Structure 1
Amino acid sequence: MDNSFPLQNSSLVNILTLRYDPSLKPNLPRKTSNDFEINDNIPGTEFIEKTICENIEQNLEKFTGEKISIALSGGVDSTLALSLIRKVKPNIEIEAISIKFADSVDETTAASKIAHEFNANHSILYLENYLSELPKAISMIKLPFWDLHWYYVVKKAKTFSNILISGDGGDELFSGYTFRYEKFLSLTSENSTPLEKVKAYLECHERDRVSDQEYIFTKKSNFSWNSIYEILIPYFDNNLSRLDQVYLADYNGKLLYNFNPINSRIIDNFQMKLITPIINNKLIKLASHMPSQSKYDEINNIGKLPLRKILKKNGHDSLVNNKKLGFNVNTLNLWNSHGYNLCKDFLTDSRAVKDGWINDDWIHKHIDNMDLDVKYINKFFGLLAFEIWYRLFVTKEMNSDTKLD
């Protein structure tokens, strides 16, 4: 690592390729294939519900404030978290926070109904320009990530309470990435080699996969596909079923080395407490030993079956559908409204390019494409985040309070 470059070369490559950095020290335990050995005597949904409720009770036991906040997307995880908070704390005042992104699918209508069902106040945070406060968010996490809606949620929550609850972890523990499972099974067979499965797994990350990924970097960045494959091979070179291998890779991916550490850094910067009742020690240990069919309905392509069963048992299953929700911005529309001009401004005069980290030819080849594929748009947003990080922490010419409007 260059003393003037406060990031390992591998971290740069991994963040811009995998969207996570395995060199980070995780807050949660890593898992191996041994942790996914099937136990048919695993406790059922009653135990899962009890465990989540106990986690909420323990975390709120000494809480003396008047309000708590919850991030409410309208999906299974946040709906379940809200329902069980209300079950455990029937009288506590709850501020539910949802995000409405400009020119994106509006998930807040469903979220409003859910908030009303559980007698929670509902605040809808409208983001006309999702990238506006990216410098401030990056200054907090100290890493070049761009998909930082969590910054806006926490900033809003701070106005209500010092406690924020989220449904994080449901996808990784209880098989919520159904789009990935379906495609992975279609691309592989029981006879596929570990390397073939790794390549198929990467193909299933459709938002981030561009065909000329290796040309983004210069030799200085030391990119190689083999280094990427080496990270993932252990998850697919074992005796697990193909789906359990994907679950293992997902758990040891963005949950451990993106969502959890990044969300924690933002929470800490706002001096708040984050409660994630689904990601508790008992469920982390339990979920990986559950048979795949008890979490994921392969025929109907529906995941998180135990969490859905809890909602159904309590009469709340009609509040959610089978579509995955979770604060999703339409990046194509964001590109057209703000992203293109910002990327053009920052990347055609890039400090990271001048210092030899990013390939200028790749930027100029794609940036003015009038029909740019959304995968390339997402990649440009990643490069924008790196450039902003570079100006904050390397050249130190940028103020974190700068707005990208």
Structure 2
Amino acid sequence: MCGFIGILRNDNVQAIDLDRWNEALQSIHHRGPDDTGNYRDERVEFGFKRLSIIDLEHGEQPLSYQERYHIIFNGEIYNYVELREQLIEQGVTFQTMSDTEVIVALYAHKGKDCVQDLRGMFAFAIWDIVEETLFAARDTFGIKPFYYYETKDRLIFSSEQKSIKLLTGQHELHQENIQHYLTYQYVPEPRCLSKDIFKLLPGQYLEKKPNQKAIITCFNKKSFLPEEKQFSEFTKETRQVLEDSVAKHMRSDVPVGAFLSSGIDSTTIVALAKQHNPALKTFTVGFETEGYSEIDIAKDTAEKLGVENIHKVITPQEFVTELEKIIWHMDDPVADPAAVPLYFVAKEASKHVKVVLSGEGADELFGGYTIYREPLSLKWINRLPKSIQVLMNKSAKLLPQGIKGKSYILRGTTPMEDRYIGNAFIFSEAEKKMLLKNYQRNQPFTEITKSMYEDAKLYTDSSKMQYIDLNTWLPGDILVKADRMTMAHSLELRVPFLDKDVFNLAKQIPDHMKIANGTTKYVLREAVKGLVPDSVQYRRKLGFPVPIRHWLRNELYDWARDLLKYSPAADQIFNREELLLLLEDHAIEKVDNSRKLWTILSFMIWYSLYEQADTTQSLKLVKEKTLAYKTVYTNAPAYSE
């Protein structure tokens, strides 16, 4: 895994000052501490931080090809060996054994259609000197990030938002996106909390010539196309495609390990990976609080699979001590508590390996979330006349909070488009109106998913939910924390479930084979029967759970209260009294506000790092944090002409 920054300038626009350039490049040093590279001509500036995984001796970047093309690339192409052989048969010669050269050679021969052949995770940019064209692309699932900022003078892009901020000083806060953050617990792509900085969406590419506006095109729009095949055929094909994906994901010139939790996803990956590396190391973390540790289960699973398990217990003190650094690495806040144990398990893994496999994506592809079974339980309500449903909805709203059945009736009598926006739903519009000083009623959360529901209008209700998660929760939460928390420790994370061949099969599986026999991911579970221990096959996973509900009533209560009382965001953005009421209601166990509080607290910490009233002070603070945090990494050489 690596990190890059790049600039394409228009006519008569000066290059970025070298000191500022080096500072921006150094801010992503954690993404690639092994090597630093730069390329600069009269139009472009490319900077690169390399984490050496493939072709350790000759894989330096930026890489030049035929003296015409220059590429910077973050990710891994798992079918690069096969693509390389195909290109050699067509007369192409290569100077390295790297997948980077395969991408640029493929682009030289096929142009923008090259992205259709790539099987892997990627964000890259190619500069064509002859055509004076910049071509950039992001992988189908959004595993790798690509931020960009465009003005009348230049296009600036990077693997992390902090580099762009250091180069531009742009820090105006986007009020509308604060509202969306409060509902989703992350800022839905392509938006960011800072105005004028955006992300390429998964499956998009960007083309830009100097003095022309960038053109963005979708090259892969994911869809579910169920087919009626025999159940046994689906399980057989699922096993085969996963075996192939894990084999491809094991390609590396450095040691590969794997994360191991209590569920079937990570266990499947570990069991398949062990076939290629019997000495595979696995990594697990947990907490001291009862019910919030998967260590014992993971140790048992590892023993049954015959692999080593390395584990660590996280204390509340460590949790708080590292939290500011964790949010610094996130760029924009992602208020998923699971990011914290992921940070610690990555830290532990980085002491032993340079690459880890993980089980992200299985739930979104194979129908793994329990919520996907909800339409089955709501069927009887949906059959009632609309007039009865409206009456039930109004009556349920009058019931006190916490009354059993209220939530169920409200869900059943509310159209899916108005209630389901992905795996997390933190604050409603009414709650945000109370919390925010500048609430904007014309930006409801449904604005984000409206076009997605239009795309999925012919899907079943369960598949609609799956489609929404695939386009919101997966790239906005799951993959952001996976990338940032591993890259914080210069560790490459690979996700074999999020493979285009795996998806091409998973999208064919009908609902009744995904949510069957009272469970989820039924095809997947049956496909790996005999591969994973029986004790894991139908266990409900915890997914590195975090005891914030308990801690915010005990160990972290004072810390949270002080943050809500004294954070500048509490005065400038929120109504402080409402925030403190959330905490007090939670502390006396009137209601579980832990996820709401964590969303607010994460924002508070982020705000103190990145957003101050004075832009100069804000930049100064970011630079100070950059200097403070990068000292834990190896010093890297600066760019010089």
Say yes or no: TM over 0.5.
Answer: yes
Contact 2:284 2:295 in 1 (8 A): no
Give distance in 1, aligned partners of 2:599 and 2:266. Answer: 27
Matched, 1:71 2:237: no
Contact 1:73 1:111 in 2 (8 A): yes
Task: Please give the per-residue CA displacement for 1:69-112, whole angstroms capped at 9, x wherever unaligned.
Answer: 322111010111111111233x3332332323534433222111
Matched AA of 2:350: K
1:19–1:94 Cα change, 3 Å:
same
Structure with bigger helix share is 1
Match of 1:362 in 2: 578
Aligned partners of 2:440, 2:350: CA distance in 1, in Å? 40
CA contact (8 A) 1:311 1:317 kept: no
CA distance in 2, matches of 1:317, 1:207: 35
1:364, distance to aligned residue in structure 2 (A): 3.1
Q: Which amino acid counterpart does residue 370 of structure 2 have in structure 1? A: T
**Partner of residue 21, structure 2:** none
Letter matched to residue 392 of structure 1? L
Q: 1:145 and 2:361 equivalent?
A: no
Asked if residue 285 in structure 1 is aligned to residue 504 in structure 2, the reply is yes
Aligned residue for 1:105? Answer: 292
> 1:228: Cα distance to partner?
0.5
Mapped to 2, the partners of 1:307 and 1:225 lie a distance apart of 42
For residues 164 and 26 of structure 1, the distance between their equivalents in structure 2, rounded to whole angstroms, comes to 25
Aligned to 1:115: 302
- Give 1:344's match in structure 2, choosing from 555, 558, 561: 561
Which structure's relative contact order is higher, taking Cα pairs within 8 Å and 6+ residues apart? 1
Task: Give the drift of 1:321.
Answer: 3.2
Check conservation: 2:184, 2:426, Cα contact below 8 A. no
Letter aligned with residue 16 of structure 1: L
In structure 1, what is the equivalent of residue 142 of structure 2?
none
Counterpart in the other structure of 2:600: 383
One-letter identity of the residue aligned with 1:365: L
Q: Distance in 1 between matches of 2:375 and 2:425?
A: 10
Q: C-alpha displacement at 1:45, in angstroms?
A: 2.4
**Secondary structure class of the residue paired with 1:367:** helix
2:11 aligned partner: none
The two structures have a TM-score, normalised by structure 2, of: 0.56
Contact 1:195 1:233 in 2 (8 A): no
1:218 equivalent in structure 2: 437
1:254 alignment counterpart:
473
| Residues 1:376 and 1:16: Cα distance change in structure 2 (over 3 Å) | same
Query: How many angstroms apart in 1 are the aligned matches of 2:175 and 2:376?
Result: 29
Compared CA separation, residues 34 and 179, structure 1 to 2 (3 A): closer
CA distance in 1, matches of 2:330, 2:237: 35
Give 1:165 deviation, angstroms: 1.1
Give the counterpart letter for 1:87 in structure 2: Q
Name the aligned partner's letter for residue 15 of structure 1. Answer: Y
Counterparts of 1:235-254 in structure 2, within 5 Å, are 235-237=452-454, 238-254=457-473
TM-aligned CA distance change 1:271 to 1:362, over 3 Å: same
Question: Is the CA contact 2:421–2:468 (under 8 Å) kept in the aligned structure 1?
Answer: no
1:56 counterpart = 2:249: no
8 Å contact kept, 1:163–1:273: yes
Verify the 8 A CA contact 1:52 1:280 in the aligned structure 2.
no
**1:368 match: secondary structure:** helix
Alpha-carbon offset, residue 6 of structure 1: 5.4
Aligned 1:7-26 pairs, distance under 5 A: 7-24=173-190, 25=199
Q: Helix, strand or coil for the counterpart of 1:44?
A: helix
Cα displacement string for residues 160-219 of structure 1 (whole angstroms, at most 9, x for unaligned residues): 111111111111111111145327852862788997212332698477669724322221
| Separation (CA, whole Å) in 1 of partners of 2:281 and 2:423 | 37
Deviation at 1:152, TM superposition (A): 1.3
Which letter does structure 2 place at the counterpart of 1:137? Answer: I
User: One-letter code of the match for 1:254?
Assistant: W
Letter of the aligned partner of 1:228 in structure 2?
A: F
Alignment deviations for residues 324-362 of structure 1 (CA, whole Å, 9 cap, x no partner): 3211123221212333212111111121123x2222231
Residues 28 and 82 of structure 1, relative CA distance in 2, 3 Å threshold:
farther
> Which string of whole-angstrom CA distances, capped at 9 and with x for unpartnered residues, describes residues 17-67 of structure 1?
1123223436744999981232224962232222222222223233343xx
Matched, 1:317 2:510: no
* Shift in alpha-carbon separation, 1:93–1:315, aligned structure 2, 3 A: closer
- Residues paired across the two proteins, number: 394
Q: Partners of 1:261 and 1:107 in 2: how far apart?
A: 23
Structure 2 match to 1:85: 273
TM-score by length of 1: 0.85
Q: 2:325 aligns with which of 130, 136, 139?
A: 136
TM-aligned CA distance change 1:310 to 1:225, over 3 Å: farther
The corresponding residue for 1:47 is 237
Q: Deviations over 1:286-334 (max 9, x none)?
A: 322320111111x51x111122113314363333434232111232212
Note if contact 1:40-1:291 (Cα within 8 Å) is conserved in structure 2: yes
Output the CA distance in 2 between the equivalents of 1:350 and 1:315: 48
Q: Secondary structure at the match of 2:298?
A: helix
- Separation (CA, whole Å) in 2 of partners of 1:107 and 1:309: 23
Q: CA deviation at 1:270?
A: 2.3
Q: Which amino acid aligns with 2:526?
A: K
Quote how far apart the aligned CAs of 1:246 are: 0.9
What is the aligned partner in structure 1 of residue 27 from structure 2? none
Structure 2 distance, partners of 1:313, 1:154, is 29
The runs of 5 or more residues in structure 2 that have no matched partner are 1-148, 150-164, 191-198, 205-217, 387-411, 613-617, 630-641
